[in-house]
Structures are given as structure tokens and as C-alpha cells.
Amino acid sequence: MGPVILAIESSCDETSASVIRNGKVLNNIIASQAVHRKYGGVVPELASRAHQQNIVTVVDEAMEKSGLSKTDLNAIAFTRGPGLMGSLLVGVSFAKGMSLALGIPLIEINHMEAHVLAHFIDDPVPEFPFLCLTVSGGHTQIVLVEDYTTMQVIGQTQDDAVGEAFDKAAKIMGLPYPGGPLIDEYANVGNPKAFHFPVTSMPGLDFSFSGIKTAFMYFLRDEKLKNPAFVEENLYDICASLQRHLVTMLLTRLEQASVQTGIRNIAIAGGVSANSGLRSALKNMAEKREWNVFIPEFEYCTDNAAMIAMAAHFKYLRKEFCSLDVTPLARMPIGLA
Ligand code: KG4
Ligand code: ZN
């Protein structure tokens, strides 16, 4: 019988726990934090307090649903970073406490590597090497994945993440947080060619999304001077045009990365991979370029502990444990840990 591992994720605003046995994820319990909605974004201090309130029940539920007891556990895994310091601290401290109490090893996991390894939870799994576009509220990266442990970031945003661009644009239009899913919904019934926005060009395979946010703000300000009801009257077309623009920025770089590396196994991960415009554009690109495309279940795209558990399983097999002195890292590059 293979290892049984309890994994904890608390890097941002999701408190999550998962139990994995012999590489099979048994459950994935997630407590989302509604407290941030009225502030239009994640408030770090409130996030860490909510993690403290949720973590015991989330872990208990994962253990209970697994049908196993704590004495069956062979290791405890946790997200060391990157993420919000106060949020990470809750998960790290809790994992340390359990490891000490149960006398079992600790496994530190890099959150960004875990997003990539989420592709190994369910079939079909991608073949190495593959490229993974990780897109969420906090990250926008193109990762070249050679195997479970060797990964290299070959392109990334130099400022805002693409999810942040969706959410901030939504906020400027007066939509609630997080605005990404709403823009997606409205975009489905709008004209994507109604409006045009400037492309910020970055060297190599890097991205920049802060310029589009500012351009979008001035665009709306100018249009509203002419017609105060501009947003209300054109909401669907604005959303469709903006979404098309952001998706094109992502896919242009991904296509370049594939051409440069010669890799045609392409995966996407992170909350923004739920975007229907991105999914359909990716499918079109796959036909045009003969790509094999991999998109995980939505549950494993957004922040979750199942991906931490999957990454921990591979580390357990290599006996890569960490000491009880481990501390969280708010900034943690891929390849560290
Ligand atoms: O991975 P995630 O749950 O959390 C982190 O940020 O790490 O991603 C959340 C992000 C938010 O910015 C949200 O607006 C975006 O994913 N998102 C979407 C969609 N669903 C979630 N953006 C565009 N279209 C969607 N359907
Ligand atoms: Zn994430």
C-alpha cells in the first residue's frame, strides 16, 4: 500500500485540505472566503483570520471523508509559498503541529508547481515535456515542464496577473468581485470586435497586463463623457471585446512558446483557465497547430489542496522531507523546494 498524505493549502483566500492514498486523491475540501466580496478584492488580514477559523473543520472533514484515521497518515504536506504571508503562516503552523504530534514527516510544496502537477490527478495526463500556461488572480506564467521535478518558467507577467486584469476591469465597470466569471458570462452574448484596446508588448515570452487596465479606465472615462450610460448600454460588447483582447494576449505568447521550444503538448491551469473564451480559442489553436491540449477539472484549476497532495505524493516517493524549522515564503520561485 502506498503512502497516505494529508495536504493543506492556505496561500490566498481558499482554506483547503485533501487526503491522497497511493497517488489517488480521495477528497478535496475547500472553504472559500466570502468576506472579501464587499471590499472588491482579497484583504490579507481578513484572509488569515478566516483561515484560522476554517482550518480545523476543513482538515477534520477531509480526514472523515477519507474513512482513514490520523494514525494512518504517513506525512503532512503544506503550501510553503508563494502567497500572502499571513495566510501561508496558518497552513504552515498547522502542518508543523500535526507533524510534531503524529511524529510523521513534513513535505513543503511550491504552490505554482502544484498548479502544474494538478494535471496528474486525473487521466488523461500530459506527456513530458509539456508547456503549462498557469493563469489566475495571482499568476500568469508559461512553464516548461520536463518531468515532475524539473520545471522552468520561460515567460511570465512583469506586473499584474491576467485574473487581476479581469477583476480590475470588472470593478471599473461597477461589477462585483471576482469579476472574471461575470465578464465571461456577459462576453458570451456580446460582440468581441466592437471595441479595440492597445497591446502592451514585452520582450521574449513575458506578459504585461497593467497597461490594459489603465487604457481600459481612460477608454470608459472618455466614452462616458460622450454618453453617461455607455457602460450600461454596451456592457456585453465591452466584456466580449476585453475578453477577446486578454485571451489573444495569452495565446499569442503560448503559440510563440510552442514554436520556440517545439513542444506541442499544451496544458492550462489556474482560475482563469475556466474562461470559455480561452478554452475555445485554445481548441481552435490546437486544431491549427496540432497541439494536444490538457485542461484539468475546474475543481483542480482554482486553488485547492488536491494539487498540493498530488505534488506531495511525488516528493514522498523521493523522500524529500523538510525540517520543522521551515518558514513560509511569500515569494517563492518555481524550482525552489
Ligand atoms: O486560481 P484562483 O482561484 O485563485 C488565485 O488567484 O490563485 O483564480 C481566481 C481568478 C480570479 O481572478 C477570477 O476572476 C478568475 O480566476 N476567474 C475567471 C473565470 N473564473 C475565474 N476569469 C475569467 N473567466 C472565468 N470564467
Ligand atoms: Zn493559485
Asked if residues 275 and 268 have their Cβ atoms less than 8 Å apart, the reply is no
How does DSSP classify residue 36?
G
Residue 264 has what pLDDT? 98
What is the DSSP-derived secondary structure letter of residue 127?
P
Which atom of ligand 1 approaches the CA of 163 most closely?
12
Q: How confident is the model at residue 333 (pLDDT cuts 50, 70, 90)?
A: confident
Residues 3-55: tens digit of each pLDDT: 999 999 999 888 999 999 999 999 999 988 877 777 777 888 888 998 999 99
Find, among 315, 302, 331, 292, the residue nearest to 7 by Cα. Answer: 315
What is the CB < 6 Å shell around ligand 1? 12, 136-138, 163, 166-167, 178, 180-181, 184, 270-272, 274-275, 302-303
Helix (H, G, I), strand (E, B) or coil at 311: helix
pTM (predicted TM-score)? 0.93
Q: What is the mean pLDDT of residues 270-275?
A: 93
Average pLDDT, the chain: 95
How confident is the model over 123-140, as a mean pLDDT? 95
- 8 Å CB contact between 97 and 326: no
pLDDT of residue 209: 95
- Give the residue-averaged pLDDT of 169-198: 95
- Looking at the DSSP bridge assignments, the partners of residue 207 are 157
In this prediction, residues 244-251 reach a mean pLDDT of 97
* Per-residue buried b or exposed e for 315-330, using 16+ beta carbons within 10 Å of the residue's own CB: bbeeeebbeeebebbe
Grid cell, residue 166, equals: 479581469
Residue among 93, 106, 101, 142 at smallest CA distance from 254: 142
pLDDT of 107: 98
Domains parsed from the chain with CATH numbers: 4-117+300-317 (3.30.420.40), 125-296 (3.30.420.40)
CA of 64 to the centre of ligand 1 (A): 29
Q: Which of 32, 79, 166, 300 to mutate to test the pocket of ligand 1 (most atoms within 8 A of CB)?
A: 166
C-alpha grid cell for residue 318? 523521493
Q: Read off the pLDDT band of 337 (50, 70, 90).
A: low
Q: Which residue has the cell 483542480?
A: 300
Q: How far apart are the first and last CA of the chain?
A: 26
Q: What are 173-183's pLDDT values in tens digits?
A: 999 988 999 99
**Residue 200: pLDDT band with limits 50, 70, 90:** confident
42-51, 105-114, 205-214, 265-274: segment of lowest average pLDDT: 42-51
